[in-house]
């Protein structure tokens, strides 16, 4: 995949309609650059983020005061035991569930107060989402599933088609373009889901257990595209339970009981003569 120009801010490829943030919406100050329209270094930031659920009069805190940052081009993995709040955090960051309190900043603009429609527009233009269970549109072909996000973001049909052809070829499923998702294997469906998430070249890619339901061969295919997207400057925040998958990331954030228990850089250990590879060392 190639980028013809550096990523832009929330004014991006297509102007946002009035009322998404409003003229007086909070914006972070940008430092270190003379150009007024240069993108901020931090793609995503949260401050004291909280998500609570109420059931039968009992309040459960799924996320408790989470502060995280994701820089442009950075790949961060989120790990933790079942019930630690990993998927909930990703859903809140993508606007699929509202935060109870706290702040979410994307590309220098505060977005936690967006309406449902505002979040839909934001995801359409700046956030790609990969789900564990694919969530492909069953009444559309593979080609239509992948082209749709780019078209909604303002690409021309020709641009959307070219992007789709590029992504499907890279994932080895170009021959499936006219196929319905239901006729694909699970691994093929996940590759289509990843291509769809990358189709509009999002500023941020959120991936929720993208290899959780795949065998080792299909896992390698999906990770290969994620690795290439990362090398091409894509900011990625990925939930995973697999340490081998997390070893691809620049940092690993561990959640426990809805809080950040650890945030460490991933430092690859040099390959040994005996061929043992892909071992990582976590350094705080």
Contact status, residue 255 vs residue 261, Cβ threshold 8 Å: yes
Domain annotation covers residue 88: yes
**What are the pLDDT digits (tens) for 209-265?**
888 777 887 788 788 888 888 988 899 999 998 888 898 899 999 999 999 999 999
The CATH code of the domain that includes 64 is 3.40.50.300
Q: Using the predicted structure, report yes or no on whether residue 140 has a pLDDT greater than 50.
A: yes
Kindly report which listed range (30-34, 46-50, 116-120, 269-273) carries the lowest average pLDDT score: 30-34
Kindly report which listed range (43-47, 72-76, 121-125, 249-253) carries the lowest average pLDDT score: 121-125
State percent of the chain over pLDDT 70.
80
pLDDT tier at 28, thresholds 50, 70, 90:
low
Q: Using the predicted structure, report yes or no on whether residue 130 has a pLDDT greater than 60.
A: yes
**Average model confidence (pLDDT) for the chain?**
81
pLDDT tier at 165, thresholds 50, 70, 90:
very high
Q: Using the predicted structure, report yes or no on whether residue 118 has a pLDDT greater than 80.
A: yes
pLDDT tier at 69, thresholds 50, 70, 90:
very high
The DSSP letter of residue 10 is T
Domain annotation covers residue 181: no
Domain annotation covers residue 101: yes
Q: How many domains does the chain have?
A: 1
Residue positions counted in the chain: 284
Domain annotation covers residue 102: yes
Domain annotation covers residue 199: yes
Q: Using the predicted structure, report yes or no on whether residue 284 has a pLDDT greater than 70.
A: no
Contact status, residue 219 vs residue 245, Cβ threshold 8 Å: yes
* Pairing, β 251-256 against β 127-130: unpaired
Contact status, residue 113 vs residue 20, Cβ threshold 8 Å: no
Domain annotation covers residue 80: yes
The DSSP letter of residue 65 is E
- The mean per-residue pLDDT over the stretch 30-36 comes to 45
Q: What pLDDT does 67 receive?
A: 96
Q: How many helices (H) and strands (E) does the chain have?
A: 7, 12
Domain annotation covers residue 116: yes
3-state SS class at 134: coil
3-state SS class at 102: strand
Instruction: Read off the pTM.
Output: 0.78
109 to each of 47, 101, 122, 205, how far by Cα in Å?
A: 13, 17, 11, 17
Token pair of 112 as six digits: 């936690």
Q: What pLDDT does 4 receive?
A: 39
Domain annotation covers residue 234: yes
Q: Using the predicted structure, report yes or no on whether residue 270 has a pLDDT greater than 80.
A: no
Q: What pLDDT does 26 receive?
A: 55
Domain span at residue 122 reads: 42-137+192-283
Q: What pLDDT does 81 receive?
A: 92
């Amino acid at each position: 995949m190639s980028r013809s120009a550096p990523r832009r801010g929330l004014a991006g490829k297509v102007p946002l309609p009035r009322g998404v943030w409003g003229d007086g919406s909070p914006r972070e100050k940008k430092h270190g650059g003379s150009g007024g329209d240069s993108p901020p270094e931090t793609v995503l930031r949260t401050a004291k983020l909280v998500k609570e659920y109420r059931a039968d009069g009992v309040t459960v805190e799924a996320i408790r005061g989470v502060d995280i940052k994701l820089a442009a081009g950075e790949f961060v993995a989120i790990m933790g035991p079942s019930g630690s709040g990993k998927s909930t955090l990703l859903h809140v960051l993508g606007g699929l569930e509202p935060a109870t309190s706290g702040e979410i900043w994307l590309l220098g603009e505060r977005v936690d107060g967006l309406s449902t429609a505002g979040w839909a527009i934001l995801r359409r233009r700046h956030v790609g989402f990969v789900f564990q269970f694919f969530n492909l549109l069953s009444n559309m072909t593979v080609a239509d599933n992948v082209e749709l996000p780019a078209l909604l973001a303002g690409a021309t049909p020709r641009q959307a088609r070219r992007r789709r052809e590029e992504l499907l070829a890279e994932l080895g499923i170009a021959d499936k373009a006219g196929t319905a998702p239901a006729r694909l294997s699970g691994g093929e469906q996940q590759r289509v889901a990843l291509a769809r998430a990358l189709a509009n070249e999002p500023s941020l890619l959120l991936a929720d257990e993208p290899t959780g339901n795949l065998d080792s061969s299909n896992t390698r295919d999906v990770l290969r595209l994620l690795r290439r997207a990362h090398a091409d400057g894509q900011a990625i925040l990925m939930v995973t339970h697999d340490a081998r998958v997390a070893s691809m990331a620049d940092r690993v954030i561990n959640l426990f009981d809805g809080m950040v228990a650890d945030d460490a850089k991933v430092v690859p250990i040099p390959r040994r003569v005996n061929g043992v590879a892909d071992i990582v060392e976590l350094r705080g």
